[in-house]
Amino acid sequence: MEAHTLFHPEDDLFFDARRVIKMLRDPRSNARQVSRALERAPQLSEAINACAREHFRGRGRVQSTTHAVTLIGYRRLEAVVRSVAQQAYLALLDGAMAPSPALVRPPAPVSVDIQVAV
Mean pLDDT of the chain: 78
What pTM did the predictor assign?
0.67
21 domain-assigned: yes
107 domain-assigned: no
Measure the CA–CA gap between 80 and 41, rounded to whole angstroms: 13
102 domain-assigned: no
* Spatial CA neighbour of 47 closest among 22, 25, 26, 16: 16
Count of domains forming the chain: 1
| Chain segment 25-54, per-residue pLDDT in tens | 999 999 999 999 998 888 899 999 999 988
40 domain-assigned: yes
| Chain segment 54-106, per-residue pLDDT in tens | 888 877 788 899 999 998 999 999 999 999 988 888 877 777 655 555 555 45
Predicted confidence at residue 12, as pLDDT, reads 79
22 domain-assigned: yes
Q: What is the CA radius of gyration of the chain?
A: 20
71 domain-assigned: yes
Predicted confidence at residue 11, as pLDDT, reads 54
Predicted confidence at residue 8, as pLDDT, reads 44
Residue 66 structural domain: 9-93
Name the residue type at position 107.
P
